[in-house]
Amino acid sequence: MRATSAPVLVLFFSSIGWGLTWLPLKYLNGQGMEGPFLVLLAFGAAGLLLSPVFFKQQSHWRGKLHYLALIALFGGFANLAFQIALYEGDVIRVMILFYLLPVWSVLGGWLFLGERIDAMRIVTVCGALAGAFLILGGTAVFASYPSWIDLLAIGSGMAFAANNIVFRATQSVPVASKVTAMFGGCALLIGIYLVTSSAVIPDYPPRTLLLTMAYGIFWLTVITFGTQWGVTRLEAGRASIIIIMELVAAVVSASLLLGETMAAMELVGGTLVVGAVLVETFREPGMQHPVQEPS
């Protein structure tokens, strides 16, 4: 088995896990929990769970706290911007702008990590983007002019790409510490947003609160660990293409479980994304570029 097989498989299945998050979210929304409050509680609970491990590992990240601060900032902003954009804007438009992620990841990996952009990487990025574009409705998504919500969606994808690049650049820092910083940043920035926006906290029943925290602890923690462990070990551009599998998983699972029929354009788009992912999955290990960790 090649050295990259495990990270690719873990990232692949974690992306499918992200694509299936609509299931617990749909249930929690039905219980009255939604929007930034859901994210604050879920990420906050997961961060608190990991905090003892974080402090136990301080010998590994001592002197590199500034990188953990960048992870908290980028990861927190990515989630905050994405949630606000979804809440305020058109879901499909927000999704397609967020899934420009491979572009930012490939460019960021090239600029900051020295990763090579070869012809095959360009082909797979274009294929993945074209597939996402078709899945999310094609040219119909651009029926209106750009807005501040569009900028938030694009900024969310850029921040997530930056977050993943910092994860990959800090190989000696344990993934658990980096995930804790990311969760903490998410909870902190969303908390600041709720306070400054004078949001009224609904009176949620204890059962709903417990279920939301359980979602963060058991679901978000597992798939985030899987995603970031894979991201740390794969080229930024390659990882971002595999991550788009979550879009395919979401569309296919919703079609199967809700009894909806996938349109021809969605089938073509899904095929393009899966094709791009498979190409990146089976690339030769020699394409990997060693990461020089910053001091």
Whether residue 260 contacts residue 129, with contact meaning beta carbons closer than 8 Å, is answered with no
Q: For 235, what's the count of Cα atoms within 13 Å in the CB-facing half-sphere?
A: 26
20 by DSSP, 3-state: which? coil
For the record, the structure tokens of 238 come out as 């390659």
Q: CB of 181 within 8 A of CB of 110?
A: no
Helices 236-243/221-233 angle, 10° precision = 140
Mean pLDDT on 206-235: 94
The token pair that represents 265 in the structure block: 């354009």
Q: Please enumerate in sequence order all residues whose Cβ is within 8 A of that of 237, keeping only pairs 6 or more positions apart, or say none.
A: 102, 105, 106, 109, 110, 115, 117, 121, 125
pLDDT digits (tens, 9 = 90+) for 59-115: 999 889 999 999 999 998 998 898 888 878 877 778 878 888 899 999 999 999 988
Whole-structure pTM value: 0.87
Q: How confident is the model at residue 263 (pLDDT cuts 50, 70, 90)?
A: confident
Higher-scoring residue by pLDDT: 198, 57: 57
101 φψ region: left (φ > 0), alpha (ψ -120 to 50), beta (else): alpha
Looking at residue 92, its pLDDT comes to 75
Tell me, what amino acid is at 84?
I
User: Is the per-residue pLDDT at 23 higher than 80?
Assistant: yes
Q: Which of 182-186, 201-205, 228-232, 237-241 is least confident?
A: 201-205
DSSP 234: S
Domain boundaries defined on the chain:
5-284
- Chain segment 124-170, per-residue pLDDT in tens: 999 999 988 888 778 776 777 778 888 898 999 999 999 999 999 99
* Per-residue pLDDT, 1: 43
Q: How many Å apart are CA 160 and CA 104, to the nearest integer?
A: 9
Nearest 5°: the CA angle 114, 115, 117 is 125
Q: Quickly tell me which residue has 């572009």 as its tokens.
A: 103
* 134-150 core/surface letters (b: 16 or more CB in 10 A; e: else): bbbbeeebeeeeeeebb
**Neighbouring residues of 70: CB distance < 8 A, sequence distance ≥ 6:** 162, 166
Judge contact between 129 and 98, C-beta under 8 A.
no
**For residue 4, pLDDT beyond 60:** no
